[in-house]
Structure 1
Amino acid sequence: MSTSDNRPRKQWYRKKVVWIPLLFVAYVFFVNSSYLAAPPAGSPFLLAHRGMTQTFHMEGLTNETCTAERIYPPEHPYLENTLPSMKAAFAAGADVVEFDVHWTKDGQFAVFHDWTLGCRTNGDGVTRDFTLADLQKLDIGYNYTADGGRTYPFRGKGIGLMPSLTDVLKAFPDESLLIHIKSNDPNEGQALADALQALPKERLEKLTVYGGDEPIAAVKSQIPELRVISMDTMKSCLIPYIAAGWSGYVPDACAHTQLHIPDQIAPWLWGWPNRFMARMEAVNTRAILVAGSGDFSAGFDTPADLDRVPATFTDGIWTNRIDRIGPVFPEKFAGN
């Protein structure tokens, strides 16, 4: 056979080599493009981090920083993780309120942010070394200052304001809550599961628990129907999704959970936002959009921050300033 006889076959082969990758790219685009997907129905919801809180500047923040010593000048009278602050958050427009829990010496759960007491209160020592009754005698606003210690605007106003988990569940029997275990102790997870497992199914459906891998695994083992989140559950879902989600594949680990997704990372998820949300909704999972890279619970805390939320986003938005975001939120997303 002459060289000229092979020319049509070679040309066909070259065209095939070019078109196969192009067809693959077109397929991936079609499967994952939000432009070609119907926008999801509904509007986004607001998650108020620690209720109505006193916020603080983030410069030089580390895990050891006492944030009560660097608050901004107070704009409202509420302290985080208290019943009044949670009530105010819901009144301001929150759909979900997040709060922190610590296991106490007498086997109960105190609602408080820190592992130790010295930063915020007039007490000292490790939280779990005290009984709930002892903790509730403390002034939880004792050390908050916005001017380097010259004045303490909440001193004397936080006595008896530390609630228990039981207090919160009783005060908000129908609202959605996000419970944060502040340790990585599996025994604490087991104790929390013991405290929650007697709740009726319809109540558990409005609760989510997150925290360290070990306590969350213990909670999930005992109450498999409860929505949970940890670094392990996030990785188990998102790493394989990032690897193969281009095909529409959703890992089993993504089912019935919650994903906290920084808005700087979200656009890299296959199908973001419309197809991604539809895929997660199909497996009963919701996404919570947090701000920036996700460091130190950064949230959407000014009206301008909301401009970064996709217009068709219908899952949760994390905020530390429900007092600022709640009033403008309905108008901002009125068209959804």
Structure 2
Amino acid sequence: MWRVPGPTLADIARAAEVSTATVSHALNGTGRIGDATRRRVRETATRLGYGTPGPQRCRTLGVAVTTFATAWNYTEIAYFSRAVTAATSAAHARGYALTTLPADRAADDSWHSLAVDGMLIVDSPRGDPMVRALRARGIPLVFDGVPGDPHPGDHWVDNDHDTTTRTVLDHLADSGAHRIALQSGSGDEHYARAVTAAYERWCGERGTAPLIVPFDPADGQGHAFDALLGRRDRADAVYAAYDPGGRQLLAAAARHGLRVPDDLRVVCASEDPAYAATEPPVSTVTLDPERTARAAVGLLVGLVEEGPAAARGPVVVPARLLVRASSGAQPAAG
């Protein structure tokens, strides 16, 4: 094992100028102590590297999605559900348990004392407090997606979002589309920024103005597309970079009396197999979360068991466009 034992409760107590009992209460979330004291103790513990496992590992890995600071159930999204399932299977095959953490970074700072040998962090944004805390503790990290604040020697698994985005846009253009819009993510994760930047470059190369619609997961009927689809120079194709976007577009097209694909071509990045049964079936981009998760767990176990020299990264997992009727038809005559 390549890490060294961290400080004791007594070390933290001396540094924070409190008793060891107060330290214990602060780290375990027990006792009647003030919020300011609890926060000071936890920050001191993190700064000193408390919680770093010694030679005896707990044979547990963790996984968290830290894109947003608010609570949301990422296991309901097909990509994350499939990634977590594959990561669990890969961890078990290597003799490790896998702990899935909730996504609410604002309310849950359990990473200060979380007992894991390593963490897989998905879609880490810039300024991610979980990453800062785990780095301070010396916990090995592997990222699904380029981290918001990459450090030298970081390891991650990701897709080539520039190539994938261009593949989708070229496909839509080849099918006859002239005004192609992007439904872009609203988060600060690398995925949203990379897809948007690739789309803007593609538009710039062709001298067309970008048409970007912000993604709203609560907009089930796709009202965010109303302005885009209701004008005379409306978009005739949309690439939705997030899972619900395909259904939002089908709903919006129906509301505006547009036929898919004759009037509006649709491609959606999603791992949901139900898109093959919509009317019409929606073309999707698969990012292959199973392969990504397995590769990430493999990197993480290597870091835990052999140290930084054992792992190699970044790893690029190919994405794939599954063409269905929503984008494959020729433009209507006339």
Q: TM-score, normalised by structure 1?
A: 0.29
Larger Rg: 1
Q: TM-score, normalised by structure 2?
A: 0.29
